Structure 1
Amino acid sequence: AWTVLAAMPLLIPSYVGGFALVAMMGPRGMFQDLLAPFGVERLPSIYGFPGALWALTLFTYPYLYLSVRTGLLNLDPALEEAARSLGHSPWRTFLRVTLPNLRPSITAGALLVALYTLSDFGAVSLLRFNSFTRAIYVQYLSSFDRSLASILSLVLVFMTVLLLFAERRSRGRTRYYRSSAGVFRRQRTVMLGKWRWPALIFCGLVVSAALLVPTGVIVFWLVRGLLAGESLAPVWQAALNSIQAASLAAGSAVVLALPVAYFSVRYPSRLSSLVSQSVYVGYGLPGIVIALSLVFFGANFATFLYQTLAMLIFAYVVRFLPQAMGSIQSSLVQINPRLEEAGRSLGLNRRAVLWRIVVPLLRPGMLAGAALVFLTTIKELPATLLLGPTGFTTLATQIWSATD
Structure 2
Amino acid sequence: MAVRSPAGPPPGARGTASVPLLVAGLVVAAACLVPLGYVVWSATDQPPGEAVDFLVRPRIGELLWNTTRLLVAGTLLSVALGVGAAWLVERTDVPGGRLWHGVMCAPLAVPAFVNGYAWVSTTHAVQSFPGAVLVMSLSYYPLVYLPTVAALRRLDPSLEEVAASLGHGPWTSFLRIVLPAISPAVLGGALLVGLHLLAEYGALQLLNYPTLTTAILQQYASAFNGPAATLLAGVLVVFCLLLLGLELALRGRRRRSRVGGGASRAATQVQLGRRAPAAAAGLGVLALLALAVPLVSLGRWLLRGASTSLDLGALATAAGTTVGLAVVGGAIATVAALPVAWLAVRHRGWLSTVIERFTYTASAMPGIVVGLALVTVSIRSVPALYQTVVLLLLGYVVLFLPRAVVSVRSTLELAPPVLDDVARSLGCSGPQATVRVTLPLVAPGLAASVALVSLAVSTELTATLLLSPTGTTTLATGFWQDASAVAYGAAAPYALTLVVLSVPATWLLGRMTLGRSA
Q: TM bucket by the smaller chain?
A: 0.7 to 0.9
User: What is the CA deviation profile of residues 268-292 of structure 1, one whole-angstrom value per residue up to 9, with x for unaligned ones?
Assistant: 4759835862663356433424223
Query: Could you tell me how far 1:136 is from its partner in structure 2?
Result: 1.0
Partner Cα separation in structure 2 for residue 49 and residue 243 of structure 1: 34
* Partner residue, 2:273: 193
1:241 aligns with 2:339: no
Query: Could you tell me how far 1:395 is from its partner in structure 2?
Result: 1.0
Matched residue type, 2:464 = T
1:205 aligns with 2:285: yes
* Partner residue, 2:61: none
Partner Cα separation in structure 1 for residue 331 and residue 174 of structure 2: 47
* Partner residue, 1:165: 245
Partner Cα separation in structure 2 for residue 309 and residue 286 of structure 1: 21
Matched residue type, 1:8 = A
* Partner residue, 1:386: 466
* Partner residue, 1:11: 109
User: What is the CA deviation profile of residues 215-270 of structure 1, one whole-angstrom value per residue up to 9, with x for unaligned ones?
Assistant: 23223322335995543443222222223322442343355456x36974998475
Aligned-residue Cα RMSD (Å) equals 4.2
> Of 75, 81, 85, which residue of structure 1 is paired with 2:164?
81
1:403 aligns with 2:483: yes
* Partner residue, 1:286: 365
1:114 aligns with 2:194: yes
Query: Could you tell me how far 1:357 is from its partner in structure 2?
Result: 6.4
TM-score under structure 2 normalisation? 0.59
* Partner residue, 1:374: 454
Query: Could you tell me how far 1:337 is from its partner in structure 2?
Result: 6.7
Matched residue type, 1:139 = Q
Deviates more, 1:224-233 or 1:394-403: 224-233
* Partner residue, 1:139: 219
User: What is the CA deviation profile of residues 131-150 of structure 1, one whole-angstrom value per residue up to 9, with x for unaligned ones?
Assistant: 11111111112233300111
Contact 2:116–2:207 under 8 Å retained in 1: yes
Partner Cα separation in structure 2 for residue 393 and residue 144 of structure 1: 25
> Of 115, 122, 134, which residue of structure 2 is paired with 1:24?
122
Q: Aligned pair count?
A: 370
Contact 1:7–1:66 under 8 Å retained in 2: yes
Partner Cα separation in structure 2 for residue 241 and residue 122 of structure 1: 21
Contact 2:342–2:412 under 8 Å retained in 1: no
Where does the alignment leave 5 or more consecutive residues of structure 1 unmatched? 27-44, 178-182
Q: Percent identity?
A: 32
Partner Cα separation in structure 2 for residue 249 and residue 82 of structure 1: 49
Partner Cα separation in structure 2 for residue 147 and residue 297 of structure 1: 16
Query: Could you tell me how far 1:118 is from its partner in structure 2?
Result: 1.2
Give secondary structure in 2 for the equivalent of 1:189. Answer: coil
User: What is the CA deviation profile of residues 346-378 of structure 1, one whole-angstrom value per residue up to 9, with x for unaligned ones?
Assistant: xxxx99x69996999687765554343323211
TM-score under structure 1 normalisation? 0.74
Give secondary structure in 2 for the equivalent of 1:128. Answer: coil
Residues 18 and 197 from structure 1, CA distance in 2 versus in 1: closer, same or farther, beyond 3 angstroms?
same
Residues 119 and 360 from structure 1, CA distance in 2 versus in 1: closer, same or farther, beyond 3 angstroms?
closer
User: What is the CA deviation profile of residues 52-84 of structure 1, one whole-angstrom value per residue up to 9, with x for unaligned ones?
Assistant: 222102112223334555566637324652664
Query: Could you tell me how far 1:383 is from its partner in structure 2?
Result: 1.4
Where does the alignment leave 5 or more consecutive residues of structure 2 unmatched? 1-98, 257-261, 485-518
* Partner residue, 1:154: 234
Higher RCO (CA < 8 A, seq sep 6+): 2
Residues 321 and 98 from structure 1, CA distance in 2 versus in 1: closer, same or farther, beyond 3 angstroms?
closer
Partner Cα separation in structure 2 for residue 239 and residue 207 of structure 1: 26
